[in-house]
Amino acid sequence: MHDLGGPRRGGQRGGNLVTYLRRIIKPRQMDFEYTFWTLMQLCISPKTAYRHTAYQKQTKNQWARDDPAQVMVTCALVTLASTAYCITFGDSISHSILTVLSAVVVDFLLLGFAIATAGWFVANHFLRKKPQLHQVEQHVEWLYAFDVHCNSYFPLFLILYVLQFLLSPLLLWHSFLATALSCALFTFSLIYYWYMTFLGYSALPFLEKTEVFLWPAGLILLSIPFAVLAGFNPSRFTLSLYFG
């Protein structure tokens, strides 16, 4: 795993990860107050949230958060929201448990690991500026890439889990209005996810051409008109995958 602070040794990098993982079972060491402040800023002023990454670097010599509080809070929120879907649309306890586990482990964590790894790889191999003379070469930490995913995921969660649930009686209609509204909901949430990802990587001063993280948003915009014209309702499609 690359480290952002320059040529630090693998043992120190491993120590940072071990410390991060140990705090999962030590809630008293997690900063939940800062976590909820960050979640609020991600919705109303995401640039403010990312400006605090510089403070993190100055005080702890790393850009990534050093505790898993936001991951734990997000897992809890996804669990609660998924449970609400299961109560409304599910048909058995066993299937509901699998659905909740899938939402947390697959949709949030494993997919997040994959996206974070891809972003970490692209940023380190293609987007780093060439260091000037006497400058320390810097790299993107994998944990920071995962932080970016977690930050980007929260607004998406509010839209595709909470708002979609509240609007589901309308979104599940077999009508053009329902299809258009569902497509608009998914389009906005996914574009905002990639915009937040772009903000996360552009906050690092040693990266350039971070606009590459906006490319998926452009592809989504191009595909949505075809989805609407074809009558594809992503809300009905998603719920059918989980609940049949």
Is residue 4 scored above 70 in pLDDT?
no
38, 176 Cβ separation under 8 angstroms? no
Token representation of residue 39:
């979640």
C-alpha to C-alpha distance for 15 and 4, rounded to whole angstroms = 14
Q: Tens digits of per-residue pLDDT, 70-90? A: 999 999 999 999 999 999 999
- Confidence band, pLDDT 50/70/90 cuts, at residue 133: low
C-alpha to C-alpha distance for 193 and 130, rounded to whole angstroms = 28
Look up the pTM and report it.
0.91
Contacts of 208 (CB under 8 A, 6+ apart): 127, 128, 129
What long-range pairs does 19-22 form, CB within 8 A, spacing at least 24?
A: 19/66, 20/66, 20/67, 20/68, 20/143, 21/68
Give pLDDT, residue 55: 79
C-alpha to C-alpha distance for 214 and 222, rounded to whole angstroms = 13
Query: Residue 31: left (phi > 0), alpha (psi -120 to 50), or beta?
Result: beta
The torsion of the CA quartet 182, 188, 191, 195, rounded to 10 degrees, works out to: -160
91/121: higher pLDDT: 121
171, 185 Cβ separation under 8 angstroms? yes
| 3-state SS class at 204 | coil
119, 141 Cβ separation under 8 angstroms? no
Mean pLDDT of 213-227: 96
Q: Tens digits of per-residue pLDDT, 17-71? A: 777 778 888 888 899 999 999 999 999 999 999 988 777 778 888 899 888 999 9
Is residue 10 scored above 90 in pLDDT?
no
What long-range pairs does 88-97 form, CB within 8 A, spacing at least 24?
A: 88/165, 88/168, 89/239, 89/242, 89/243, 90/243, 91/243, 95/243
Q: Using alpha carbons, select from 164, 197, 138 the residue that is nearest to residue 3.
A: 138
C-alpha to C-alpha distance for 63 and 53, rounded to whole angstroms = 6
Partners of 207 in the beta sheet? 128
Mean pLDDT of 156-182: 97
What does each C-alpha distance from 142 to 13, 56, 59, 176, 183 come to in angstroms? 10, 16, 19, 43, 32
Give pLDDT, residue 51: 87
